Copies of this chain bind each other. A is one copy, B any other.
Amino acid sequence: MQSNNLEKLRQQSPLIHNITNVVVANYVANGLLSLGCSPIMSNAIEEMDELPAICKALVINIGTLTSEQVKSMRKAGISANKNNIPVVLDPVGVGATTFRQETVKTLLSEIKFDLIRGNAGEIAHLAQAAWNAKGVDAGSGEANLSQIAIDVALKYNCIVSISGETDYISDGKKVAKIDNGTVLFPKITGSGCLLSAVCGAFLTLEGKKFELIVSACTSYAIAGQIVKENLDNNQTGQFYVELLDSLAKLDDETVQKYAKISFE
Protein backbone atom coordinates (compact mmCIF):
# COMPACT_ATOMS: atom_id res chain seq x y z
CA MET A 1 0.00 0.00 0.00
CA GLN A 2 1.56 3.20 -1.19
CA SER A 3 0.49 6.67 -0.21
CA ASN A 4 1.84 10.02 0.85
CA ASN A 5 -0.80 10.48 3.51
CA LEU A 6 1.60 11.32 6.33
CA GLU A 7 3.29 13.92 4.18
CA LYS A 8 -0.05 15.47 3.23
CA LEU A 9 -1.20 15.44 6.83
CA ARG A 10 1.84 17.42 7.90
CA GLN A 11 1.38 19.88 5.04
CA GLN A 12 -2.30 20.45 5.71
CA SER A 13 -2.07 20.26 9.50
CA PRO A 14 -5.83 19.91 10.00
CA LEU A 15 -7.58 21.28 13.06
CA ILE A 16 -9.25 18.33 14.82
CA HIS A 17 -12.03 18.78 17.37
CA ASN A 18 -11.96 16.16 20.10
CA ILE A 19 -14.71 15.53 22.62
CA THR A 20 -12.83 13.03 24.65
CA ASN A 21 -12.31 11.61 28.10
CA VAL A 22 -10.29 13.23 30.88
CA VAL A 23 -7.94 10.25 31.10
CA VAL A 24 -6.45 10.64 27.63
CA ALA A 25 -7.10 14.27 26.63
CA ASN A 26 -3.45 15.15 27.13
CA TYR A 27 -2.10 12.15 25.25
CA VAL A 28 -4.47 12.58 22.33
CA ALA A 29 -3.48 16.24 22.02
CA ASN A 30 0.22 15.36 22.11
CA GLY A 31 -0.23 12.54 19.63
CA LEU A 32 -2.03 14.77 17.11
CA LEU A 33 0.63 17.46 17.55
CA SER A 34 3.34 14.85 16.97
CA LEU A 35 1.68 13.92 13.68
CA GLY A 36 1.65 17.57 12.63
CA CYS A 37 -2.05 18.21 13.28
CA SER A 38 -3.69 20.88 15.45
CA PRO A 39 -5.88 19.43 18.21
CA ILE A 40 -8.59 21.31 20.02
CA MET A 41 -10.29 19.62 22.96
CA SER A 42 -13.64 21.01 24.03
CA ASN A 43 -16.79 19.75 25.73
CA ALA A 44 -18.56 23.07 26.21
CA ILE A 45 -22.09 23.04 24.82
CA GLU A 46 -21.60 26.73 24.02
CA GLU A 47 -18.87 25.84 21.49
CA MET A 48 -20.45 22.82 19.81
CA ASP A 49 -21.97 24.72 16.90
CA GLU A 50 -18.93 26.81 16.12
CA LEU A 51 -16.06 24.36 16.51
CA PRO A 52 -17.24 21.83 13.91
CA ALA A 53 -17.60 24.77 11.52
CA ILE A 54 -13.92 25.71 11.80
CA CYS A 55 -12.48 22.20 12.30
CA LYS A 56 -11.74 19.57 9.67
CA ALA A 57 -12.92 16.54 11.69
CA LEU A 58 -14.75 15.66 14.90
CA VAL A 59 -13.78 12.76 17.16
CA ILE A 60 -16.25 11.66 19.84
CA ASN A 61 -14.95 9.43 22.65
CA ILE A 62 -17.19 8.22 25.48
CA GLY A 63 -14.47 7.12 27.93
CA THR A 64 -15.54 9.31 30.84
CA LEU A 65 -19.08 10.32 29.95
CA THR A 66 -21.20 12.79 31.85
CA SER A 67 -24.75 13.75 31.00
CA GLU A 68 -23.56 17.27 30.13
CA GLN A 69 -20.97 15.86 27.78
CA VAL A 70 -23.60 13.73 26.01
CA LYS A 71 -25.55 16.89 25.18
CA SER A 72 -22.37 18.40 23.74
CA MET A 73 -21.62 15.29 21.70
CA ARG A 74 -25.09 15.34 20.17
CA LYS A 75 -24.91 19.01 19.30
CA ALA A 76 -21.38 18.78 17.89
CA GLY A 77 -22.18 15.69 15.86
CA ILE A 78 -25.17 17.31 14.25
CA SER A 79 -23.14 20.44 13.52
CA ALA A 80 -20.35 18.31 12.06
CA ASN A 81 -22.79 16.51 9.76
CA LYS A 82 -24.22 19.86 8.68
CA ASN A 83 -20.71 21.15 7.96
CA ASN A 84 -19.79 17.96 6.09
CA ILE A 85 -16.74 17.14 8.16
CA PRO A 86 -15.92 13.52 9.02
CA VAL A 87 -17.07 12.23 12.40
CA VAL A 88 -15.47 9.37 14.34
CA LEU A 89 -17.03 7.46 17.23
CA ASP A 90 -14.89 5.72 19.84
CA PRO A 91 -17.40 3.75 21.97
CA VAL A 92 -15.05 3.22 24.94
CA GLY A 93 -16.30 0.43 27.20
CA VAL A 94 -19.75 0.60 25.61
CA GLY A 95 -20.80 -2.75 27.02
CA ALA A 96 -19.82 -1.91 30.58
CA THR A 97 -22.83 0.16 31.64
CA THR A 98 -26.37 1.00 30.60
CA PHE A 99 -25.42 4.69 30.39
CA ARG A 100 -22.74 3.99 27.80
CA GLN A 101 -25.02 1.68 25.83
CA GLU A 102 -27.84 4.20 25.70
CA THR A 103 -25.54 7.07 24.88
CA VAL A 104 -24.02 5.20 21.95
CA LYS A 105 -27.50 4.24 20.76
CA THR A 106 -28.58 7.87 20.84
CA LEU A 107 -25.43 9.09 19.10
CA LEU A 108 -25.73 6.47 16.38
CA SER A 109 -29.36 7.35 15.77
CA GLU A 110 -28.81 11.11 15.53
CA ILE A 111 -25.38 11.43 13.93
CA LYS A 112 -23.97 9.99 10.72
CA PHE A 113 -20.54 8.63 11.62
CA ASP A 114 -17.85 8.02 9.04
CA LEU A 115 -15.97 5.63 11.29
CA ILE A 116 -16.56 3.61 14.42
CA ARG A 117 -13.28 2.49 15.96
CA GLY A 118 -12.97 0.35 19.06
CA ASN A 119 -11.47 -2.78 20.52
CA ALA A 120 -12.95 -6.22 19.96
CA GLY A 121 -15.13 -6.05 23.07
CA GLU A 122 -16.63 -2.72 22.06
CA ILE A 123 -17.35 -3.54 18.43
CA ALA A 124 -18.64 -7.02 19.31
CA HIS A 125 -21.10 -5.31 21.64
CA LEU A 126 -22.36 -3.16 18.76
CA ALA A 127 -22.76 -6.31 16.66
CA GLN A 128 -24.57 -8.01 19.55
CA ALA A 129 -22.04 -10.80 19.19
CA ALA A 130 -20.95 -12.99 22.09
CA TRP A 131 -17.83 -11.57 23.73
CA ASN A 132 -16.43 -11.17 27.23
CA ALA A 133 -15.40 -7.55 27.35
CA LYS A 134 -13.70 -6.30 30.52
CA GLY A 135 -14.54 -2.77 31.51
CA VAL A 136 -12.88 -0.56 28.93
CA ASP A 137 -10.45 -3.32 27.92
CA ALA A 138 -10.95 -5.70 25.01
CA GLY A 139 -11.46 -8.86 27.05
CA SER A 140 -11.63 -12.11 25.11
CA GLY A 141 -13.94 -14.07 22.85
CA GLU A 142 -14.19 -16.49 19.99
CA ALA A 143 -16.33 -14.55 17.55
CA ASN A 144 -15.23 -13.94 13.97
CA LEU A 145 -13.89 -10.39 14.02
CA SER A 146 -13.96 -9.99 10.24
CA GLN A 147 -17.66 -10.78 10.23
CA ILE A 148 -18.29 -8.47 13.17
CA ALA A 149 -16.54 -5.61 11.37
CA ILE A 150 -18.66 -6.23 8.26
CA ASP A 151 -21.89 -6.47 10.25
CA VAL A 152 -21.37 -3.23 12.14
CA ALA A 153 -20.22 -1.42 9.00
CA LEU A 154 -23.40 -2.48 7.18
CA LYS A 155 -25.61 -1.71 10.18
CA TYR A 156 -24.36 1.85 10.54
CA ASN A 157 -23.29 2.46 6.95
CA CYS A 158 -19.76 3.48 7.88
CA ILE A 159 -16.22 2.22 8.15
CA VAL A 160 -15.51 0.04 11.16
CA SER A 161 -12.10 -0.55 12.65
CA ILE A 162 -11.42 -3.16 15.32
CA SER A 163 -8.05 -2.64 16.99
CA GLY A 164 -5.96 -5.37 18.56
CA GLU A 165 -2.97 -7.55 17.90
CA THR A 166 -4.50 -7.71 14.41
CA ASP A 167 -6.62 -4.80 13.23
CA TYR A 168 -9.78 -5.52 11.21
CA ILE A 169 -11.13 -2.75 9.03
CA SER A 170 -14.27 -3.02 6.93
CA ASP A 171 -16.49 -0.88 4.77
CA GLY A 172 -19.21 -3.54 4.86
CA LYS A 173 -17.81 -5.39 1.84
CA LYS A 174 -14.04 -5.71 2.04
CA VAL A 175 -12.05 -6.45 5.19
CA ALA A 176 -8.45 -5.38 5.62
CA LYS A 177 -6.35 -7.13 8.25
CA ILE A 178 -3.30 -5.35 9.60
CA ASP A 179 -0.69 -7.43 11.38
CA ASN A 180 1.59 -4.76 12.77
CA GLY A 181 0.39 -4.85 16.38
CA THR A 182 2.64 -4.86 19.44
CA VAL A 183 2.00 -6.23 22.92
CA LEU A 184 2.61 -2.82 24.46
CA PHE A 185 -0.42 -1.01 23.01
CA PRO A 186 -2.94 -2.57 25.42
CA LYS A 187 -0.58 -1.87 28.33
CA ILE A 188 -0.91 1.91 28.01
CA THR A 189 -4.07 3.90 28.50
CA GLY A 190 -5.41 5.80 25.55
CA SER A 191 -3.65 3.95 22.78
CA GLY A 192 -7.02 3.27 21.15
CA CYS A 193 -8.32 6.77 21.91
CA LEU A 194 -5.34 8.33 20.18
CA LEU A 195 -5.79 6.01 17.20
CA SER A 196 -9.39 7.21 16.86
CA ALA A 197 -8.14 10.78 16.71
CA VAL A 198 -5.47 9.82 14.19
CA CYS A 199 -8.18 8.21 12.06
CA GLY A 200 -10.15 11.44 12.27
CA ALA A 201 -7.09 13.31 11.01
CA PHE A 202 -6.60 10.89 8.08
CA LEU A 203 -10.26 11.27 7.11
CA THR A 204 -9.57 14.94 6.34
CA LEU A 205 -7.36 13.82 3.44
CA GLU A 206 -8.58 13.14 -0.06
CA GLY A 207 -9.23 9.49 -0.89
CA LYS A 208 -11.60 6.64 -0.21
CA LYS A 209 -12.50 6.45 3.46
CA PHE A 210 -11.76 2.74 3.68
CA GLU A 211 -8.27 3.26 2.31
CA LEU A 212 -7.62 6.27 4.51
CA ILE A 213 -8.54 4.28 7.62
CA VAL A 214 -6.40 1.34 6.56
CA SER A 215 -3.59 3.83 6.06
CA ALA A 216 -4.19 5.48 9.45
CA CYS A 217 -4.32 2.21 11.38
CA THR A 218 -1.29 0.81 9.59
CA SER A 219 0.75 3.94 10.19
CA TYR A 220 -0.18 4.05 13.84
CA ALA A 221 0.53 0.35 14.42
CA ILE A 222 3.91 0.70 12.74
CA ALA A 223 4.79 3.73 14.84
CA GLY A 224 4.30 1.47 17.86
CA GLN A 225 6.03 -1.50 16.30
CA ILE A 226 9.16 0.52 15.62
CA VAL A 227 9.32 1.73 19.22
CA LYS A 228 8.84 -1.80 20.50
CA GLU A 229 11.90 -3.01 18.57
CA ASN A 230 14.11 -1.40 21.20
CA LEU A 231 11.99 -2.02 24.30
CA ASP A 232 11.15 -5.05 26.38
CA ASN A 233 7.58 -5.98 27.30
CA ASN A 234 7.72 -4.13 30.62
CA GLN A 235 8.71 -0.70 29.37
CA THR A 236 5.20 0.67 29.34
CA GLY A 237 6.18 4.18 30.44
CA GLN A 238 8.96 4.43 27.92
CA PHE A 239 6.65 3.14 25.17
CA TYR A 240 4.12 5.84 26.08
CA VAL A 241 6.75 8.54 25.55
CA GLU A 242 8.50 7.16 22.52
CA LEU A 243 5.26 6.50 20.65
CA LEU A 244 4.94 10.29 20.40
CA ASP A 245 8.48 10.58 19.04
CA SER A 246 7.77 7.77 16.60
CA LEU A 247 4.58 9.42 15.31
CA ALA A 248 6.56 12.62 14.77
CA LYS A 249 9.29 10.79 12.90
CA LEU A 250 7.28 8.30 10.85
CA ASP A 251 7.24 8.79 7.07
CA ASP A 252 5.29 7.17 4.26
CA GLU A 253 8.26 5.16 3.00
CA THR A 254 8.68 3.49 6.36
CA VAL A 255 4.99 2.66 6.51
CA GLN A 256 5.18 1.06 3.09
CA LYS A 257 8.21 -0.97 4.11
CA TYR A 258 6.73 -2.32 7.35
CA ALA A 259 3.06 -2.71 6.37
CA LYS A 260 1.57 -6.20 6.69
CA ILE A 261 -1.89 -5.82 5.21
CA SER A 262 -4.06 -8.56 3.79
CA PHE A 263 -7.55 -8.33 2.35
CA GLU A 264 -10.52 -10.68 2.63
Residues of A within 8 A of B (CB): 13, 15, 21-27, 29-30, 33-34, 38-47, 50-51, 54-55, 63-68, 93, 96-100, 134-137, 186-190, 233-238, 240-245, 248-249
Contacts and interface: CB of A to CB of B under 8 A. Distances in A.
B238 A245 contact: yes
A189 B248 CA distance: 14
A44 B22 CA distance: 12
Nearest to A62: B44
Copies in the complex: 3
A98 to B, nearest CB: 6
A26 B188 CA distance: 10
B66 A98 contact: no
Contacts of A248: 187, 233-237
25 contacts: A22-B25, A22-B41, A23-B26, A25-B64, A34-B237, A38-B134, A38-B135, A40-B93, A40-B96, A42-B65, A44-B64, A44-B66, A45-B67, A46-B99, A47-B65, A47-B96, A47-B99, A50-B97, A50-B98, A54-B96, A235-B248, A236-B248, A237-B243, A237-B245, A238-B242
B96 A51 contact: yes
B30 A237 contact: yes
A74 to B, nearest CB: 16
B34 A187 contact: yes
Contact of A236 (B39, B67, B244): B244
Contact of A42 (B43, B64, B134, B137): B64
Contact of A25 (B23, B45, B233, B242): B23
Contacts of A55: 135
Nearest to A32: B189
